[in-house]
Amino acid sequence: MAKYILKRILYLLPVLAVVAVVDFVIIHLTPGDPAAVILGSDATDMDLAKLREQLGLNLPIYAQFGRWLWGVLHGDLGWSIFMDMSVSTAIWQHLGPTVSLTLLAEVIAIVVALPLGVVAAANRGTWIDQSFMTLALLGISIPSFWIGLNFILLFAVQLNWLPAAGYQPLSNGLVNHLKYLIMPAVSLGIMQGALIARMTRSSLLEVLNENYIRTAEAKGLSRFVIIFKHALRNAFIPILTVIGLTFAVLIGGAVVTETVFNIPGIGKLIVTSVMRRDYAVIQGAILMTAVAYVLINLVIDLMYVLIDPRVRLSK
């Protein structure tokens, strides 16, 4: 097991190397000039040239890459020219809101989706199944920012129940924290939940056709025991995979939702940094996202073993 984990972590290295190079090249090939953004639109050419030199932006791209890579290998993700702080600090500061939002959205998604998927599968072909799956299809099709905007109009502008946008850290109280996060979390959760519900249904249906389920039925076990004890656990691996994927996507920052709700998370950090061409921050945040993605997948793989002992990892 330990060997397996070590191997998986070593696999991380080539992935990260590719991400680092592609990431750097794309960002630096995009036109745009951080110096012009810093100095404002009224700045003159002379001042711009001076600042570019000061920031090391006039170096050839391979030299800039070398500089950056050297830093990264020493655990230094670089310095944000705008925020005047290290990139690691910037990411750390923006991680909290994203983690809270992700967890809450994921909990909402799972809590709604699993029962929906199970009921739909258990009542396959009936109106219950059809209406649940129509709902799920709607959930997948409607962009979460659109749901978010409508939530804002309804709950914030019309009813005045919830704040329209913004963020309060957990240290300001749980109720305050949730009050700001509930609308974005639900609008993200709907989409993720719809995916999970569909996967739950189809995975469960497949298992329900197995012989051992028929045996269980023949033995006279109750529907409840069959579904929850025998079928669901066997159907759970693909469901877990989807949950893992949605989680990994969310942790990389729900870019649009975070912008609409003005939540200072990783997605917002990436968007503002792109708008300002704050190269080091974009690179750092993307690298961080890649690491998180790979690690979450690793955790999911390990969880397979817990759920299904037939899976052997060490091979």
Partner 1 sequence: MTNTNKLVALLIALVLLFTVGCGGSSNPSAPAAGAKDKNDLKVALTATPPTIDMHKTTATVTQQVGWHIFEYLVTVDDKYQVVPSLAEKIEISPDGKTFTFPLRKGLKFHNGKDLTADDVVASLLRWRKYSTIGRAVVAPATITAKDKDTVVITLPKPSSALLPALAYPSQGAVIMPKEIIDEAGDGNVKKFIGTGPFEFVEWKQNQYIQVKKYAGYKSAPGPTSGLSGKKEALVDNIYFYLVPDPATRVAGLQSGEYDAAEGLPTDSYETLKKDPNITVQINKPSSYVSMIFNTKSGLFADAKKRQAVNAAIDSEMVMKAVAGTPEFYELNHGLVFKEQVWYVDSGKEKYNQKNPELAKKLLAEAGYKGEPVTIITSRDYDYMYKSAVVLKDTLEKIGMTVNLEVYDWPTVLSKRGNDKLWSIFITGFLVTVEPSQTLYLDSRFNWAGWYNSPKMDALLDEMRESPNMEQAKKAFEKVQALYWEEVPVIKFGNLHQFFATRKNVKGAQFFCDKQYWNTTVK
Which residues of the chain form contacts with partner 1 (CB under 8 A)? 30-34, 36-48, 54, 82-85, 90, 93-94, 108, 111-112, 115-116, 118-119, 122-123, 149, 152-153, 156-157, 160-167, 175-176, 178-179, 182, 186, 222-224, 227, 259-262, 264, 268-269, 272, 275-277
Please report how close the Cβ of residue 255 comes to partner 1 at its closest, in angstroms. 12
Strand 79-80 vs strand 85-86: parallel, antiparallel, or unpaired? antiparallel
Q: How far is the CB of 96 from partner 1 (least distance, A)?
A: 11
Closest to partner 1 by CB, 163 vs 244, is 163
| Cβ atoms within 10 Å, residue 68 | 20
Contacts for 189 with CB less than 8 Å, ≥ 6 apart = 104, 105, 106, 107, 108, 109, 112
User: Which CB, 7 or 223, lies closer to partner 1?
Assistant: 223
Q: Which is nearer to partner 1, 31 or 60 (CB)?
A: 31
7-37 residues labelled b (16+ CB within 10 A) or e (exposed): ebeeeeeeebeebbeebbeebbeeeeebbeb
For partner 1, the closer of residues 2 and 29 by Cβ is 29
Which of 119, 140 has the CB closer to partner 1? 119
Least distance from partner 1 to the Cβ atom of residue 161, Å: 5
Q: Least distance in Å: CB of 206 to partner 1?
A: 19
C-beta of 197 vs 242, nearer to partner 1: 197
Least distance CB 269 / partner 1 (angstroms): 6
- Smallest separation (angstroms) from partner 1 to the CB of 76: 19
Cα–Cα distance measured from residue 206 to residue 232, given in angstroms and rounded to the nearest whole number: 11
Instruction: Work out how close the CB of 225 gets to partner 1 at its nearest, in angstroms, rounded to a whole number.
Output: 8
- Pick the closer one to partner 1 by CB: 165 or 213: 165
